[in-house]
Amino acid sequence: MTIPVLKKGLGLQQIRKVRICQTGNWKKKHLRSFQSAYAHAPFLQDHIHLIEQIFTLHYDFLLELSMEIINYIFSFLRIETQIVLMSELGVSGKGMPLIIDICKSLGASQFLVQSSALTYYNSIQFESAGLELVSFKKPEYIYPQMWGEYITNLSILDMMFTCGAKSRDIILA
């Protein structure tokens, strides 16, 4: 599912400025799709209020909606990581220099990157900035899904609807 956003004539937008398109009946369609797809999910009722909130409340900006969902997931999974928006850091730029500036402004000594993307990063740039480039293999979370062929890392919401509180244990295993 995608949330329609306003983009015509706006060019490349900063994420915090992306506005949600309020026209049409996409909210009702998305809510019905969720309710239909997960009607028999064992833990849907534990989370239905989030889904209803997403598709009934008025969010002007995509960032507002995204943060609502992320904060809910963090709370449910008891993740205590602080979220910092780039707009709060006072950094700007593009590419590797921007990533390095973000790391420096946060006081990082390492930058984690998936092994599959490591070739896109210039380790010399990071090393000269005093940062260690550390690669990791993306974990695959195996859990029971409702139907069809198993889809690796489908969605944290899918896992929460089907596994409930055990979702945290699956992630930490």
**Per residue in 73-82, pLDDT tens?**
999 999 999 9
Question: Measured in whole angstroms, how far is the alpha carbon of residue 86 from the centre of its chain?
Answer: 15
- C-alpha 131/C-alpha 142 separation (Å) is 33
Could you read off the pLDDT of 5-56 as tens digits, one per residue?
A: 998 777 788 888 999 999 989 999 999 998 899 999 999 999 999 999 888 8
Could you read off the pLDDT of 65-124 as tens digits, one per residue?
A: 999 999 999 999 999 999 999 989 999 889 999 999 999 999 999 999 999 999 999 999
Question: Measured in whole angstroms, how far is the alpha carbon of residue 77 from the centre of its chain?
Answer: 14
Question: What DSSP character marks residue 153?
Answer: T
**Residue 11: its pLDDT value, please?**
75
pLDDT band at 173 (very low <50, low <70, confident <90, very high): confident
Q: CA 140 → CA 23, 151, 172, distances in Å?
A: 38, 10, 11
Sign of dihedral through CA atoms 33, 35, 41, 47? positive
Sign of dihedral through CA atoms 62, 6, 155, 140? negative
What's the mean per-residue pLDDT of the chain?
92
Listed by start position, the domains of the chain span: 15-81+140-172, 86-136
Question: What DSSP character marks residue 119?
Answer: G
